[in-house]
Structure 1
């Protein structure tokens, strides 16, 4: 390695959204000659190999994930389990610490990028090395701002006053869910809140995959509250896929007029109840538009087909597809027939959505997704969120239909507004040189951290 390049180890949380986000920034850094050592579970390598655009500089370091009682044998990522087992997977990840420690002693990187392994900064200090720890957040800075803003502090921070104009209001069920999530045990020794706060307070710097135009007020707030450098790496958009859309889907989508198909994908971890899945699909049917829904089967249901509403398949035959497995989301979003994307508002999906022309409907599930949805629908006005009950958090087929028609109907004033705003942000995020300038600045700031 030359003096001008860095060696960075990546150790993300064992969830596909985190793993792919860390690999996206790895590609951007490797493009500039920096060396990456990427820790990931052994069998997960095959799922990420095709995303590694610089195999000579990005080396996958396999980890053996220890078995923890209560986890299905062979569990490696959150995609292998129900969300309720996340704490056990966190325990399993913590048990990879000896492997990480030994590897870092041998690799001697300049930095380790991490997120949920709260013990890592203290471990690095204990090794008496100059390895710096970077908390690399895959979630919006506004989510962390929201959490910090709700902490009870000894004295009122004047910075809070500047945020009175920005308000994220949570519904009753969301407040309950947020409190429960923060206080739940996540791993063998810590709560979820403690895991997050320790990771952020002990690291050498915090980094977000966002840009000043979207996140500067929140990143400034976090920098002051956490008393450490906060770096924005830019939007870190995934590189355009080089593969082709699977023939059967290309053929099906090709049978419809431009911008008429609803595409729905809620990620690998958002599992609807059978009742809510049926309400979602019946809502699509009510719109009268063709639709393609990629959804995981409800808990306790063997296949997506067995969870469909009675008579549904016959009614939508030829104009509705419900698929219970993985699909090529970036390629489907680029297809000219797709006119609306119903998304759970994960950061990766939102990045892909903002770069495409389809209208946006938001159906968030957990806190960071909810904050993203409120930002996108309330502040940026680039889409519409599906209404949910305040107490129970449930949506109806009528609510789904209403949100989709609000953005899809040609005469909708809301649709016209979000289309204009979406086009503005798409043009900005895809503007020549934007991402490159952010990554170059990011690398310079990393060099400065090394002193």
Structure 2
């Protein structure tokens, strides 16, 4: 058989949100390095965020390209240029964006019919991708962006509904059927799971779950050694095909790629490294709450005061928007000046993987987004966990209860924005940060985290669990292709 026609061609369709796009583009690059022809489909504005990285991969011999199509902003009732969930600033804009995803189907379908790839890997929000793939007779794999543990917890919650059997928002219930005893309260789970009435969000969640169940299988940014019981549970108890191919952040080997992950440039890259180079190993805390969090001025002030009182060195990425755009008004007078040398503030996008990888970093205060969690684990650092929304309260249980490398800050209420919740007090923050950095318990957490970091790196090396999992998936897809030829 002619090798050219034998070459697998796979389409990748990432959700336009930083936490989804960054890992799926990394996975696409891994596929291309294994000799697959890869096409990433997105919009022009989103393409600009990773086009330099893709270009570098092409120069190194990868058969990877980007196809763009306009996002239907106008039809969806969005302002021009609102092509990413991170650009939405209200619930209405968010809902309009979700509606826009269904209008995205036609141009994608056209691309698929022209190119007829061998497989479509799409974010679950594009629930119509299952039907499009079925029409072409090709497998559709879904990429959720979460790990096995939160996927299993969410499935159990949706199936058994234990949260509907408790009498108050704060009463704890056990999520049934999981390998570990995991307790949560109603106030910690997403609003759309508590509300049995129909809404755009519940409708979307139902469509996502349906698409997941009817797709060929799942690709997960995780590694076997991190959550072995949940890899087995997902495959055996839930009967789903799944391949773990992570941590995908490790596909960036050089500093330029690490710094440009998800953003075309980082003004802070050299400044961060120069500053960290002057610090002792494991002596600095990195604080970052991802790209989507909205913090109130009151909450930012509590964090600032806790950091000042903690006596710890820190890098703090204030990437979130405050409610009244008072980006500097919340800051205690002379805060940056007073803490010069001990603290570094980053206002804007932070080169997170680059920072976490630095030997000076000794701990990570995180919102528990799956990417951040995995990047912290890969770097081998313990964490203070501060979940906010999405599936982050599920995720928190992994480092704090199962892996024992995390200290909860005490966040109790699920919310998109901290202005709608009572701020977590500086004393709580300071206690959690000190517990992560100082004393016998901190040492034990650090050594467990370092061991996990080594396992993470080994998983993606030749012969590692994630490398083998990716190869077995590609073999399966090649077999399907040759049998249908």
TM-score normalised over the length of structure 1: 0.88
Aligned to 1:400: 429
Deviations 1:104-143 (A, max 9, x none): 0001001110121011112333x3x222111122101222
Which residue, out of 440, 447, 451, partners 2:478? 447
Partner Cα separation in structure 1 for residue 380 and residue 178 of structure 2: 33
- Secondary structure at the counterpart of residue 469 of structure 2: helix
Matched, 1:386 2:389: no
1:148 maps to 2:155 = yes
Quote the residue 1:438 is aligned against. Answer: 469
How far did residue 228 of structure 1 move?
4.4
Q: CA deviation at 1:234?
A: 4.4
Q: Secondary structure at the match of 2:107?
A: helix
Q: Give the aligned partner of residue 36 of structure 2.
A: 34
Question: Deviation digits for residues 309-360 of structure 1, max 9, x if unmatched?
Answer: 3553454344333332112112222233322221222222223222224432
Q: Is the 8 A contact 1:178 1:367 kept in 2?
A: no
Q: Which 10-residue stretch deviates more, 372-381 or 428-437?
A: 428-437
- Give the CA deviation at 1:183: 6.4
SS at match of 2:285: strand
Greater mean alpha carbon deviation, residues 66-75 or residues 397-406? 66-75
SS in 2 for 1:293: strand
Would you say the 8 A contact 2:243–2:469 is kept in 1?
Answer: no
Tell me the SS of whatever aligns to 1:72. Answer: coil
- The answer as to 2:131 corresponding to 1:122 is yes
Query: Are 1:89 and 2:97 matched, yes or no?
Result: yes
Between the aligned partners of 1:182 and 1:5, the Cα distance in structure 2 is 47
Q: TM-score, normalised by structure 2?
A: 0.82
Report the Cα distance in structure 2 between the residues aligned to 1:133 and 1:249, rounded to whole angstroms. Answer: 41
Report SS of the residue matched to 2:48: helix
- List per-residue Cα deviations over 1:186-231 (Å, max 9, x = no partner): 47xx623213212212212222222333344334443456554233
User: Take 1:153 and 1:336, find their aligned partners in 2: how far apart are those partners?
Assistant: 44
Q: Residues 152 and 246 from structure 1, CA distance in 2 versus in 1: closer, same or farther, beyond 3 angstroms?
A: closer
> Secondary structure at 2:189's aligned position in 1?
helix
Q: Take 1:388 and 1:213, find their aligned partners in 2: how far apart are those partners?
A: 28
The structural deviation recorded for 1:269 is 0.6
- For structure 2, the residue ranges without an aligned partner over 5 or more in a row are 162-173, 260-267, 415-420
Query: Could you list the runs of 5+ residues in structure 1 that have no partner in the other structure?
Result: 155-159
Q: Following the alignment from structure 1 to structure 2, what is the Cα–Cα distance between the partners of residues 270 and 386? A: 16
CA contact 2:299–2:423 (8 Å) conserved in 1: yes
Q: Give the aligned partner of residue 209 of structure 2.
A: 197
1:321 aligns to what? 344
Structure 1 Cα separation of the partners of residues 348 and 441 of structure 2: 33
21, 24, 29: which is aligned to 1:22? 24
Give me the CA root mean square deviation.
2.9
Given the alignment, which residue of 230, 236, 246 partners 1:218? Answer: 230
- Between 269-278 and 81-90, report the one with greater CA deviation: 81-90
Residues 182 and 193 in structure 1, CA contact (< 8 A), matched pair in contact too: no
Question: Which residue is equivalent to 2:308?
Answer: 285
Taking a change above 3 Å as real, the CA distance of residues 426 and 183 of structure 1, as seen in their structure-2 partners, is farther
> Distance between the aligned counterparts of 1:182 and 1:260, measured in 2?
47
Aligned residue for 2:35, secondary structure, equals coil
Contact 1:87 1:185 in 2 (8 A): no
Does structure 2 retain, via aligned residues, the 8 Å contact 1:14–1:93? Answer: no
SS at match of 1:214: coil
SS in 2 for 1:170: strand
Structure 1 residue 89: Cα displacement: 1.2
Shift of 1:372: 1.9
Which has the higher mean CA deviation after the structures are superposed, 273-282 or 144-153? 144-153
Tell me the SS of whatever aligns to 1:197. Answer: helix
